[in-house]
Amino acid sequence: MKDNLLIFSGRSNKPLSQKIAEELKTDLSPITIKEFSDEEIWVKYEISLRRKDVFVIQSTDTAKNLVELFLLLNAAKKAKADRVIAVIPYFGYARQDIKDQPRVAMSAGLMCQLIEKAGATHVIMAELHNPAITNAFETAQFDHLYLTQKLWPFFQDISDLMVMSTDAGGAKMARYYATKLKTPRCAADKMRGGHNKVNEIRIMGDVANKNVLIVDDIADTCTTLTVAVESAKKMGAKDIYIACVHPVLSGQAVNILSQNQDIKIVYLTDTLDKRSLIEQQQKIKIISVADVFAKAIDHFHSNESIDSLFDQNSI
Looking up residue 225, the CATH number of its domain turns out to be 3.40.50.2020
With beta carbons less than 8 A apart as the criterion, state whether 267 and 240 touch: no
pLDDT at 85: 98
Whether residues 198 and 71 share a domain: the answer is: no
Whether residues 242 and 298 share a domain: the answer is: no
* Residue 45 within any structural domain of the chain: yes
Fill in the amino acid letter for 127: E
Q: What percent of the chain has pLDDT over 70?
A: 93
Whether residues 174 and 250 share a domain: the answer is: yes
Whether residues 175 and 159 share a domain: the answer is: yes
Q: What is the pLDDT of residues 48-97, one digit of tens each?
A: 999 999 999 999 999 999 999 999 999 999 999 999 999 999 999 988 87
Q: Which residue has the higher pLDDT, 168 or 310?
A: 168
**What integer is the mean pLDDT of 100-122?**
90
pLDDT at 67: 98
Whether residues 107 and 222 share a domain: the answer is: no
Whether residues 142 and 223 share a domain: the answer is: no
Whether residues 260 and 247 share a domain: the answer is: yes
Confidence of residue 195 (pLDDT cuts 50, 70, 90): low
* Residue 85 within any structural domain of the chain: yes
Whether residues 141 and 125 share a domain: the answer is: yes
Whether residues 227 and 159 share a domain: the answer is: yes
- E strands, the chain, are 5-9, 31-35, 41-45, 53-57, 83-88, 122-126, 141-145, 161-165, 185-194, 197-204, 211-219, 240-247, 263-269, 284-287
pTM, entire model: 0.92
Confidence of residue 1 (pLDDT cuts 50, 70, 90): low
Q: What is the pLDDT of residues 131-181, one digit of tens each?
A: 888 888 999 999 999 999 999 999 999 999 999 998 877 888 999 999 999
Whether residues 304 and 252 share a domain: the answer is: no
* Residue 315 within any structural domain of the chain: no
Residues 278 and 40: their CA atoms lie apart, in Å, by: 30
Residues 57 and 14: their CA atoms lie apart, in Å, by: 9
Whether residues 297 and 259 share a domain: the answer is: no
Residues 66 and 310: their CA atoms lie apart, in Å, by: 25
Question: How many independent structural domains does the chain possess?
Answer: 2
* Residue 311 clears pLDDT 70, i.e. is over it: no
The parent domain of residue 222 ranges over 149-287
Whether residues 142 and 155 share a domain: the answer is: no
Q: Which residues are catalytic?
A: 190
